[in-house]
Amino acid sequence: MKFIEEHGLLRKLGMGLVDIAMIVVSVYVSMELRFEMDIPPQHMRATLHALPLVLAIYMLCFSIGGIYRVMWRYSGVRDVMRLCVLCALACALTLACNQFMTLELFRGVLVLIGLLSIIFTGGIRMVWRVFSKDRIPGGLGDAMPVMIVGAGEAGAYAVNICNKDPKRLGRPVLLVDDAQSKQGLRLQNVPVRGKTEDIPKLVTRYGIREIIVAIPSLGNSERMQHILELCYETRCHTRMLSEPADADVADSEGTPFIRELNISDFLSREEIELDTDSIAGYLSGKTVMVTGGGGSIGSELCRQILRFKPKLLVIFEIYENCAYELEYELRQRYGQDCPVVTLIGSIRDRERLDEVFDLYHPQVVFHAAAHKHVPLMEESPAEAIKNNVFGTLNLLESAREHGVERLVQLSTDKAVNPANVMGATKRITEMLIQRYGEKTDMKCMAVRFGNVLGSHGSVIPLMEAQIRKGGPVTVTHPDITRYFMTIPEAAQLVLQAGGIARSGSIFVLDMGEPVRIMDLAKKLIRAYGYEPNVDMPIKIIGLRPGEKLYEELLTDAERNKMTRTAHRKIFVANVEPVGDEQYEQMLAILREAAEKNDEHAVEAIAKVVPTFHPWSGKGEGVRGAESRAG
């Protein structure tokens, strides 16, 4: 039976032969019951004459009705009801043939054949289900069949979680693992049935509907990507088991450690090797302040900073909800007495900044506070100037006056040949960092990187929300590409860059290869078990104001002069500094422009950032188009 079941065509053929035998038995038993165990010869001859037609009708109904596509090992009430309906339909067709083709069979016999066919064909399937060696302990019931990838400690944990709530999470049917020594073994009575390369055929063979990948040790390696690609082929809903080490911060209301896939799981990234000694050297025992600490990157910086045991972590944030949630999380993870203070305030308020610096005397500052949403800043350019430029200036002045040792500002690839207001204002903040790095004793540096996966308002959360609503998933342009990093990657490299003592430098992070947003959308859709443009549409909506088709991490001039640092993923962009006269003129122009939120604000930004060419609606700034043409 096992050999027949595990080989698709042979399994169907075997079940068909069994059904033919059961129907023949049903015909014989019906005749015996009708004639009280003494069948007249003429009626037996008539029955044998009509038997091929009866068999053909029943088998045709079974085949068309999809009986042989059902995994009876995991069948439920609906599958049994389908069998009953198909037997009743076949019975009705034999009665009709008997009426119009004069088969000379008793109607009562034909009805009995239908009833006994249900009993015999259904009974043999239930026997198969009950006595199958590979059945699931306790049966599936209404639970969906689940495959666990990985038969190690994490796999055992995933099996345990699912078994606690099988109706919601499904029941583990089998595990796959590449270790030869684990093949044929059972983990909590769930069998290991193959290796990862067998995932597609095992999904078909066992009727799997969901896959849980439980190999956290692989991280985002190429091997993990290959496993996820195999899961794509199955169109099963695929999820991931997170590190058990995160148990202390798991959401008690959600599913412990089992999460949806996101595109960061498909980025092939080597594990970042941090020089922890250099980071600890400037963080351990120090008072560290993070502006915009409640944001995506800011909050991850706070999490990472606490690993290096600072004397005090000051979270400075304007949005109280984000700040409250972060502080709660940090105290849950690091203990209620961890050295964290959360302060509400804006970098645009110089008096508030001075008050904080006077009270806590931070020695290291990470500046992550900024207006970052490109389309919104196109509508409110003066606000971008006030917050991104003069907010940063306020912070630099206050930090200088209060003896801050080191200040690290987070910049963006949109500052390179900017085609939008947000990118242009971030380029101006890089100029400010250069200025204060050269003219003061404070070590100032900017770190330039691309899009961060999963950050507030970024493309991944938007796409996930669209998929959950049934689509469509929106993409601005079929050819648009972006550089991507995960939030932890970005935060770790920012900390590492902060340990490189090159004041006034603009550091550029190695972002790998740019990713097509269309490819990203298709991967995410398949991760949720859908097929792009088949059962989940993708809609092209056009480029948004200020949006380019391609982003760049360096200008042509910067690329020619780029130098390496001690860390292989961090480079220095050698940008010409701003002269004294140009600097004062720049601030005067911007102060005047910030007073009114109109086209003059954009014109003022263009005066002080020569590489800025306001968005034309074609997705490329003039400068960007020229550099690509050359």
CATH no., domain 145-261 = 3.40.50.720
Residue 604 pLDDT more than 70?
yes
Q: Which range (112-116, 201-205, 296-300, 548-552) has the least confidence?
A: 548-552
Q: In this structure, what DSSP letter does residue 363 have?
A: S
Angle at 180 between CA 175 and CA 185, to 5 degrees: 50
Residue with tokens 């020569």: 610
Average of pLDDT values for 485-505? Answer: 80
Average of pLDDT values for 574-602? Answer: 84
Average of pLDDT values for 521-539? Answer: 85
Q: In this structure, what DSSP letter does residue 386 have?
A: I
3-state secondary structure of 401: helix
Q: Which amino acid is at 346?
A: S
Residue with tokens 């800043």: 377
Average of pLDDT values for 98-108? Answer: 78
Confidence of residue 33 (pLDDT cuts 50, 70, 90): confident
User: What are the helix (H) ranges across 307-380?
Assistant: 320-334, 350-360, 374-379
- CB 454 within 8 Å of CB 486: yes
Phi-psi region at 79: left, alpha or beta (left = phi > 0; alpha = psi -120 to 50): alpha
Q: Which amino acid is at 419?
A: A
CA distance 97 to 496: 83
pLDDT for res 563: 66
Peptide bond into 41 cis (omega under 30): no
Pairing of strands 443-449, 406-412: parallel
Write out pLDDT tens, residues 36-72: 787 888 878 888 888 888 889 888 998 888 877 766 6
pLDDT for res 342: 96
Confidence of residue 202 (pLDDT cuts 50, 70, 90): very high
Q: What are the residues whose beta carbons fall under 8 Å from the beta carbon of 281, sequence distance 6 or more?
A: 499
Confidence of residue 245 (pLDDT cuts 50, 70, 90): very low
**What would the 3-class secondary structure string for 100-140 be?**
HHCCCCCHHHHHHHHHHHHHHHHHHHHHHHHHCCCCCCCCC
Q: In this structure, what DSSP letter does residue 532 have?
A: B
Residue 490, burial from CB neighbour count under 10 angstroms (0-12, 13-18, 19+) = buried
Average of pLDDT values for 433-456? Answer: 83
Residue 622 pLDDT more than 50?
no
pLDDT for res 454: 61
CA distance 93 to 87: 10
**What would the 3-class secondary structure string for 304-323 be?**
HHHCCCCCEEEEEECCHHHH
**Active centre residues (catalytic):** 414
Helix (H) or strand (E) holding 227: helix 222-234
pLDDT for res 66: 80
Q: In this structure, what DSSP letter does residue 143 have?
A: P
- CB 175 within 8 Å of CB 148: yes
3-state secondary structure of 510: coil
pLDDT for res 8: 54
Residue 628 pLDDT more than 70?
no
Taking the CA atoms of residue 338, residue 341, residue 347 and residue 352 in that order, the dihedral angle to the nearest 10 degrees is: -160
Closest CA to 75 of 138, 140, 19: 140
| Helix, strand, coil % in the chain, rounded to nearest 5 | 55, 15, 30
**Range of 168-172, 241-245, 285-289, 455-459 with top mean pLDDT:** 285-289
Average of pLDDT values for 352-369? Answer: 96
Residue 310 pLDDT more than 70?
yes
Backbone phi and psi for residue 592, each to the nearest 5 degrees, phi listed first? -65, -40
Pairing of strands 443-449, 481-482: unpaired
CA distance 182 to 191: 9
- CB 549 within 8 Å of CB 619: yes
Express as a percent the part of the chain with pLDDT over 90: 27
pLDDT for res 138: 44
Q: What are the residues whose beta carbons fall under 8 Å from the beta carbon of 406, sequence distance 6 or more?
A: 282, 363, 364, 365, 442, 443, 444, 445, 498
Write out pLDDT tens, residues 291-306: 999 988 899 899 999 9
- CB 189 within 8 Å of CB 133: no
- Kindly state the tokens that stand for 588: 């005067």
Average of pLDDT values for 301-320? Answer: 94
Write out pLDDT tens, residues 405-437: 999 999 988 888 888 999 999 999 999 999 999
- CB 80 within 8 Å of CB 118: no
Q: CB count, 10 Å around CB of 46?
A: 17
Q: Which residues pair with 210 in a beta bridge?
A: 146, 237
Q: What are the residues whose beta carbons fall under 8 Å from the beta carbon of 396, sequence distance 6 or more?
A: 407, 432, 433, 436, 444
Angle at 481 between CA 479 and CA 487, to 5 degrees: 150
CATH 1.10.10.10 fits domain 276-397+409-433+450-498+512-547+575-625: no
Pairing of strands 287-291, 210-213: unpaired
Average of pLDDT values for 519-534? Answer: 83
Residue 465 pLDDT more than 80?
yes
DSSP string computed for 544-587: PTT--S---SS-HHHHHH-EE-SSTTEEEE-PPPPPHHHHHHHH
Write out pLDDT tens, residues 83-94: 899 899 988 998
Average pLDDT, the chain: 81
CA distance 265 to 109: 62
What are all long-range contacts of 37-41, with beta carbons under 8 Å and residues at least 24 apart? none
More confident residue, 6 or 587: 587
Average of pLDDT values for 333-354? Answer: 94
Residue 445 pLDDT more than 50?
yes
Confidence of residue 136 (pLDDT cuts 50, 70, 90): very low
Residue with tokens 């600490």: 293
- Kindly state the tokens that stand for 406: 């080191």
Where in the chain is CATH 3.40.50.720?
A: 145-261, 276-397+409-433+450-498+512-547+575-625
